[in-house]
Amino acid sequence: MSPAREWSNARMSPSKIGVLSNPNACLRCFWTLLRAKFKKPFSFPMPGIMFTLDAQEKALVKAFVSRGERLPKYFGAFRDVVEIIPMRTVSGRHEETGLDLYGLPDLVLRLQSGEVLVIDNKTAQPKDPDHPLYGMYVAQLNFYAMVIAMMDPENAPTRLALLNYAISGLDDEELYEMTSSDSMLARFKPVIQELTCNPAEIVEPLLRKVRKLIDATEPPAGAEGCKDCAILASFSDCLSVNDSARGSWMTSQEQTQWLRLHDHRRLSAIDSVRQAQLDTVTAVAQAERPYGVLAAWAESE
């Protein structure tokens, strides 16, 4: 039975790296999450309909390419796709920092020019360059470009694009026309944005920042006004107590299954003092942030 992965051997995903691209990211929270192996006290699951839309957005490209047709006009300069490069998951090791990188790109395509393009689909309104999430998306796509180049140098991406499928409102007449006896159609307004492809300048510094946080023996200062620091610190303390109680012999899969059976109110080894502290900071955070604790972190997942 293989030993559980240590927190210091963190695997980095596009969403984790994307968080650090935000200049206002709380480094203390990230430091704590690293040590808690990114086990969060609350989860923000994506609604099922979003998975369905995501699958349809990918299938749309396959339907056009399989027929030898150009993609719809809203793909802009990227209509001439000759091949879908199958890369459901990508992974690699960043030798300088010793970090394992992994991700699940939406679409990796070969253009008629021979260039390789990575598209990230978002079922959401487009973001302006000054929006905090825009920088995260740039980092995430460059992350994919870096890992794909590590895994398959011949298919190293040189073009990156964000494709937003934004819901478009319908007036009464349009609603009537798009509704039948057994279905109702929705209309999306796709908007494509080409992003800078430069992993060396965009991703490399973020990986070095992660390595520095891993190596730090004391937590860095938290972001001004961060309300997540206290609950993360308390939750991390509870996890460490329970990790010791159930042993380090568990595999990663067994730990995941164990965590699914035990939320923060049913962790077996927590004493009453720790539980009271965790309940207090949770209640305060929920009262001050009605949309949930760790909301700022959930945006990037």
42-69 tens-digit pLDDT: 555 677 888 888 999 999 999 999 999 9
Contact criterion met (CB below 8 Å) for 46 and 15: no
> Residue 135 pLDDT more than 70?
yes
∠ CA 79-158-160 to the nearest 5 degrees?
A: 60
Q: Does 275 fall in a domain?
A: no
CA distance 199 to 93: 14
The per-residue pLDDT for 232 is 74
Q: Does 158 fall in a domain?
A: yes
Mean pLDDT of the chain: 81
How many domains does the structure of the chain reveal?
A: 1
Q: Does 137 fall in a domain?
A: yes
> Residue 268 pLDDT more than 80?
no
Contact criterion met (CB below 8 Å) for 229 and 26: yes
∠ CA 226-6-38 to the nearest 5 degrees?
A: 30
Contact criterion met (CB below 8 Å) for 294 and 32: no
Q: Which two tokens stand for residue 145?
A: 């470009």
For the full predicted model, state whether its pTM sits above 0.75: yes
Q: Which domain holds residue 138?
A: 48-205
Mean pLDDT along residues 165-187: 91
280 — pLDDT class (breaks 50, 70, 90): low
Percent of all residues in the chain with a pLDDT value above 70, rounded to a whole number: 72
The per-residue pLDDT for 266 is 45
CA torsion angle for 264, 35, 16, 42 (degrees, to 10)?
A: 10
Q: Does 64 fall in a domain?
A: yes
The per-residue pLDDT for 4 is 43
